[in-house]
Homo-oligomer: A and B are copies of this chain.
């Protein structure tokens, strides 16, 4: 039967929520303080979950040390200590809400994980706000 394994990682980033085609008033109305033109930031807590059958030889669904290295190379190198709006190409035409960041991280990791393993992302933007993709 299937087992899930999860690795927790962290990154820090600045961002701003706004749509360039909207007025400043509408951006403030919709996004509130999150649309501050000079950016604000977060410590993001990232949980990456893989689901599959444990390897009969190693007892691992996936080596979590290797998963940590894949997250570091394909996600943290791109997002950590960055301005999501200015430094990260994925968000040049996509608002960096937590929902969108989780989808982008899923797309960054999917090509590097065996197709037989299901991949899920859980992202905490603060201790009180989090998102999951894909939803259960």
Instruction: Give the B-binding residues of A (Cβ under 8 A).
Output: 1-10, 12-15, 17, 19, 30-34, 36, 38-43, 51, 54, 57-61, 63-65, 80-83, 86-87, 94-100, 102-103, 118, 126-136
CB distance from A50 to the nearest CB of B (A): 10
- A17 to chain B: which residues have CB within 8 Å? 59
Determine the main DSSP class of A at the interface with B.
mixed
- A1 to chain B: which residues have CB within 8 Å? 133-135
- A118 to chain B: which residues have CB within 8 Å? 135
Distance A5 CA – B31 CA, assembled complex (angstroms):
16
Residue of B nearest to A80 (CB): B33
Residue of B nearest to A81 (CB): B33
